[in-house]
């Protein structure tokens, strides 16, 4: 099911509250359930729609343009679904039907494997147990919707520097969820730090590994991070286009930004259908999408002038949310690419 105009308007109408209020955006999440978003990526065999990757990206971009907070929460759930689809069948049959029906919320805690705290060494350790399972100790610094999740797919590092993915049930002894972080944007995502103290995970909950780099070269973000950046850009560019009707001097600016957006979208969809051999191409795309998000949202704020700096004008929210892409799933090649653009 495509996202209806009515559902988009509901998401847009609730987007400021979802961004600022430290409450789970239940009303916006119910819109996702109504649109069928929770079934998009899940195979038909498990009760989902089994949509093609490009179709999912198109719909996800529309969600991000309407409410980035809600789209971000969904992206973390979808990151978990993607990892689950790579795992053993017994875990798929156990969890995918419930996810398709919206009967449980799944999220991920993977940033410590690729971006967060890399200069400090592993923040989450996995110790093998005689049972074949693992004892998990340490911190998971970034878990979106942690206190709403029944299960978190987490990544931990063994003593020989290999990595594993396991499905961590949040009600296990030794798991504690900190209060949500006071983020500068996307507050309704209720992103928290999760602590693990001698948490025993049984062998049947092992999803992947041990392996040298269990998430691959690109890391956990993939194309979906770029998709959300394009969606946020689309909202800002549409505002600039609307303003250009009254102010013709803005027409060329709007045209250039929109052309950039379309070019990035084409690359995104091409990679979804024909993955590039060189992972650097995916990272370059992510850097380019982040740069567009910064440029388009800051341009919209300048055009909106002082009124745009006052809540609830969307320009101030878009500008704050664009900063999120500077820290979310931002490995060194992406950082270098964005810094090159910003300092040229």
Is the pLDDT at 118 greater than 60? The verdict is: no
pLDDT band at 213 (very low <50, low <70, confident <90, very high): confident
Interval 133-158 mean pLDDT: 97
pLDDT number for residue 119: 46
Condensed to tens digits (0 to 9), the pLDDT of residues 172-191 reads 999 999 999 999 999 999 99
Condensed to tens digits (0 to 9), the pLDDT of residues 281-324 reads 999 999 999 999 999 999 999 999 999 999 999 999 999 999 99
Peptide bond into 210 cis (omega under 30): yes
Residue-averaged pLDDT of the chain = 94
Interatomic CA distance for residues 329 and 205, integer angstroms: 25
Interatomic CA distance for residues 111 and 125, integer angstroms: 14
For the packed helices 279-308 and 314-324, what is the interaxial angle rounded to 10 degrees?
150
Query: How would you write the chain as a 3-class SS string?
Result: CCCCHHHHHHHHHHHHHHHHCCCCCHHHHHHHHHHCHHHCCCCHHHCCCCCCHHHHHHHHHHHHHHCHHHHHHHHHHHHHHHHHHHCCHHHHHHHHHHHHHCCCCEEEECHHHHCCCHHHCCCEEEEECCCCCEEEEEEEEEEECHHHCCEEEEEEECCCCCEEEEEEECCCCCEEECCCCCCCCCHHHCEEEEEEEEEEECHHHEEEEEECCCCCCCCCCHHHHHHHHHHHHHHHHHHHHHHHHHCHHHHHHHHHHHHHHHHHHHHHHHHHHCCCCCHHHHHHHHHHHHHHHHHHHHHHHHHHHHHHCCCCCHHHHHHHHHHHCCCCCCCHHHHHHHHHHHCC
Say which CATH architecture domain 106-211 belongs to: Beta Barrel (2.40)
pLDDT band at 245 (very low <50, low <70, confident <90, very high): very high
Residue 7 phi, psi (nearest 5): -65, -40
- The hierarchical CATH code for the domain 222-339 is 1.20.140.10
Interval 26-51 mean pLDDT: 97
What the block records as the tokens of 234 is 């689309």
Burial of 124 (C-beta count, 10 Å sphere; 0-12/13-18/19+): buried
How far from the centroid of its chain's Cα atoms is residue 313's Cα?
24
Judged by average pLDDT, the poorest of 51-55, 120-124, 150-154, 307-311 is 120-124
Interval 8-21 mean pLDDT: 97
Query: What are the CA-CA distances from residue 254 to residues 41, 245, 257, 320 (Å)?
Result: 33, 10, 5, 20
Interatomic CA distance for residues 320 and 20, integer angstroms: 11
Task: List the end-to-end C-alpha distance of the chain, in Å, as a whole number.
Answer: 43
Interatomic CA distance for residues 133 and 342, integer angstroms: 46
Buried-exposed string 40-73: b where 16+ CB fall within 10 A, e elsewhere: bbbeeebebbebebebbbbbbbbbbbbbbbbbbb
CATH class of the domain comprising 5-101: mainly alpha
Residue 139 phi, psi (nearest 5): -125, 145
Q: Where are the domains of the chain?
A: 5-101, 106-211, 222-339
Peptide bond into 312 cis (omega under 30): yes
Is the pLDDT at 90 greater than 80? The verdict is: yes
């Amino acid at each position: 099911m495509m996202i209806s105009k009515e559902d988009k308007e509901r998401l847009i109408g609730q987007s400021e509250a979802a961004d600022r209020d430290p409450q789970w955006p239940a009303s916006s999440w119910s819109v996702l359930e109504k649109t069928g978003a929770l079934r998009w990526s899940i195979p038909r065999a498990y009760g989902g729609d089994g949509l093609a990757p490009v179709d999912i990206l198109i719909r996800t971009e529309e969600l991000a343009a309407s409410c980035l907070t809600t789209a971000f929460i969904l992206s973390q759930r979808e990151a978990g679904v993607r990892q689950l689809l790579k795992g053993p069948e017994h875990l798929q049959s156990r969890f995918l039907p419930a996810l398709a029906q919206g009967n449980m919320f799944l999220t991920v805690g993977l940033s410590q494997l690729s971006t967060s705290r890399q200069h400090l060494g592993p923040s989450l350790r996995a110790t093998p147990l005689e049972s074949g399972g693992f004892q998990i100790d340490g911190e998971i610094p970034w878990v979106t919707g942690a206190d709403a999740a029944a299960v978190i797919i987490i990544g931990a590092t063994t003593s020989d520097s290999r990595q594993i993915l396991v499905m961590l049930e949040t009600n296990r002894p030794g798991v504690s969820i900190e209060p949500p972080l006071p983020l500068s944007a996307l507050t309704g995502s209720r992103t928290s730090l999760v602590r693990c103290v001698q948490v025993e995970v049984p062998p049947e909950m092992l999803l992947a590994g041990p392996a040298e780099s269990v998430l691959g070269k690109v890391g956990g973000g993939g194309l979906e991070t770029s998709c959300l950046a394009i969606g946020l850009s689309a909202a800002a560019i549409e505002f600039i286009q609307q303003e250009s009707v009254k102010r013709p001097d803005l027409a060329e600016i709007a045209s250039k930004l929109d052309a950039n957006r379309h070019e990035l979208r084409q690359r995104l969809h091409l990679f979804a259908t024909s993955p590039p051999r060189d992972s650097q191409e995916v990272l370059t795309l992510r850097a380019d999408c982040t740069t567009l998000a910064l440029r388009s949202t800051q341009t919209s704020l300048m055009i909106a002038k002082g009124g745009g700096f006052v809540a609830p004008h969307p320009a101030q929210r878009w500008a704050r949310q664009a900063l999120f892409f500077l820290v979310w799933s931002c490995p060194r090649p992406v950082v270098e690419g964005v810094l090159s653009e910003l300092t040229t």
